[in-house]
Each structure stands twice: as structure tokens, then as C-alpha cells.
């Protein structure tokens, strides 16, 4: 038996079985429709396997990135993280002088998947402190959401907003409460840089010296609950 004869024999058996399967049988009316159905099933299966492989690859690449960030130190060096400063982690646009068309060049797939995801929202448990002691029996809880307007002017907007945005939001959230006017006698002494102390999800302090670093590099992820001290 030749290879072609062997293939057609196997194909016929598969088509016969497809013709008896629920739902699939309505697409198999003759040998031609059976072959088309078989072809679509094979192509669909291959596409599914490919997407599954990409998803698994993406998961492992992102996991490696977050493990690297979580093991690192919160310091000034984060401003020079390779994903922030290296262009091969970002798409870019340039003008083709010959055609006059603006061309967008995307980063490699592994570079795209390796980048941390921007922080969309988080919860902040804020202790109000005076002379180093809590003023309230329970900390204030704020739910903070970040909209595209908070980071659209960033050089790397795909990383979301900076620490400064979070610090400023917490400042205004507390200052706009009735509690603030009751507790704070000298509002001018309550400032963004000196009065709002933020800690990431690993309870590490985030100093003002790194306010230019975007949140996803500071061990903060979407939905995290962080701590904050509001010093009055």
C-alpha cells in the first residue's frame, strides 16, 4: 500500500467517525464537506495549541520579571531599570524618508511579555499619626483608581502612573475629608513630600527620592492593599 492510499484510508475512517459525532455531523454531508471539516478541526487545534503555548510562555516571562523586582531593593537604581531605559522593550515610531509614511516598529514578543503590568487600582490603609502615635482607632481606607489621564504623558505610558501620582492622590483624599479639618490645626504644615509616607505590599518604605518611578516597579500590583502614614 502506497503512502497516498494509506492516508486516504485513514482520512476516510476519521471522516466516518466525524459524521457520527454530535454537532459535527451536521457539517459532514459528503466526502468534500468531510475533508473541509477535518481540515478546519486540524487547523483550529493547531491554533489552540499555539495560543496555549504563547499564554504559558507569557505567564513564565511575567513571573520571572515579578520575581526579579520582588527580590530587588527599593532605591534610586530603579530609575535606570533596563525596561525603562532600553528601547528594545518598547515600540517606536519613525518617519520613512522615502515614502513619507510613519512606521511603527513593535518590540519582540518576549520583550512585550516580560514587562510588568501597570497598576489599575489598589487599596490604601492609612494611619493618621501625630508625634509618632496613631490618632484614630482604625486606619482610614481609600480605594484608589488610576485612569489613563494619570499616565498618558509618561514617556513609557504602558507602565502606568508614577509613585508621585499615588502620593498626591492620598494627600488630597485625606485633605478633602471633614476629619482633616478637625484634626489639623495648621494645614500649611501638611505637605505631599513630608506628610505622606507610603509602604509597598512588602511593607517597604517608598521615599520621595523615587517618586519618578512607576508603581509596577515598586512591588505593587493591581488590587494590592498598601500601608500609608499620614503625619499631622
Give tens-digit pLDDT for 76-133. Answer: 999 999 999 888 898 877 777 777 788 878 888 889 889 999 999 999 999 999 999 9
pLDDT one-digit tens code per residue, 130-186: 999 999 999 999 999 999 999 998 989 999 999 999 999 999 999 999 999 999 989
Identify the CATH number of the domain in which residue 222 sits.
Answer: 3.10.20.90
The residues, ordered by sequence, that sit 6+ positions from 211 with a Cβ below 8 Å of its Cβ are: 162, 163, 164, 167
The residues, ordered by sequence, that sit 6+ positions from 157 with a Cβ below 8 Å of its Cβ are: 148, 151
Q: pLDDT category, 193, cuts 50, 70, 90?
A: very high
Say whether both 181 and 166 belong to one domain: yes
Say whether both 52 and 133 belong to one domain: no
- Candidate from 18-27, 127-136, 221-230 with smallest mean pLDDT: 18-27
- Integer Cα distance of 16 and 30 in angstroms: 10
Q: How many domains does the chain have?
A: 3
Specify the pLDDT at position 228.
97
Domain interval for residue 46: 3-63
- Integer Cα distance of 158 and 150 in angstroms: 12
Q: What does the DSSP 8-state code read for residue 208?
A: G
Inter-CA distances, 132 with 125, 139, 213, Å: 17, 14, 27
Specify the pLDDT at position 1.
62
* Cβ contact 215:166 at 8 Å: yes
- Integer Cα distance of 218 and 230 in angstroms: 20
Amino acid at each position: 500500500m502506497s503512502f497516498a492510499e494509506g492516508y486516504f484510508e485513514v482520512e476516510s475512517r476519521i471522516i466516518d467517525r466525524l459524521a457520527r459525532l454530535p454537532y459535527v455531523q451536521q457539517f459532514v454531508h459528503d466526502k468534500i464537506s468531510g475533508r473541509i471539516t477535518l481540515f478546519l478541526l486540524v487547523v483550529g487545534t493547531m491554533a489552540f495549541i499555539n495560543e496555549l503555548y504563547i499564554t504559558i510562555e507569557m505567564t513564565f516571562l511575567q513571573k520571572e520579571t515579578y520575581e526579579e523586582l520582588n527580590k530587588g531593593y527599593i532605591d534610586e537604581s530603579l530609575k535606570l531599570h533596563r525596561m525603562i531605559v532600553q528601547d528594545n522593550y518598547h515600540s517606536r515610531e519613525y518617519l520613512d524618508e522615502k515614502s513619507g509614511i510613519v512606521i511603527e516598529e513593535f518590540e519582540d514578543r518576549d520583550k512585550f511579555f516580560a514587562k510588568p503590568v501597570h497598576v489599575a487600582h489598589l487599596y490604601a490603609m492609612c494611619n493618621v499619626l501625630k508625634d509618632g502615635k496613631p490618632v484614630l482607632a482604625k486606619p482610614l481606607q481609600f480605594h484608589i483608581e488610576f485612569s489613563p489621564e494619570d499616565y498618558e504623558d509618561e514617556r513609557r505610558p504602558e507602565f502606568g502612573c508614577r509613585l508621585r501620582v499615588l502620593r498626591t492622590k492620598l494627600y488630597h483624599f485625606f485633605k478633602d475629608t471633614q476629619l482633616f479639618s478637625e484634626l489639623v490645626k495648621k494645614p500649611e504644615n501638611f505637605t505631599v513630600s513630608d506628610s505622606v509616607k507610603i509602604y509597598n505590599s512588602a511593607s517597604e518604605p517608598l521615599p520621595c527620592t523615587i517618586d519618578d518611578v512607576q508603581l509596577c516597579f515598586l512591588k505593587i500590583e493591581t488590587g494590592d492593599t498598601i500601608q500609608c502614614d499620614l503625619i499631622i
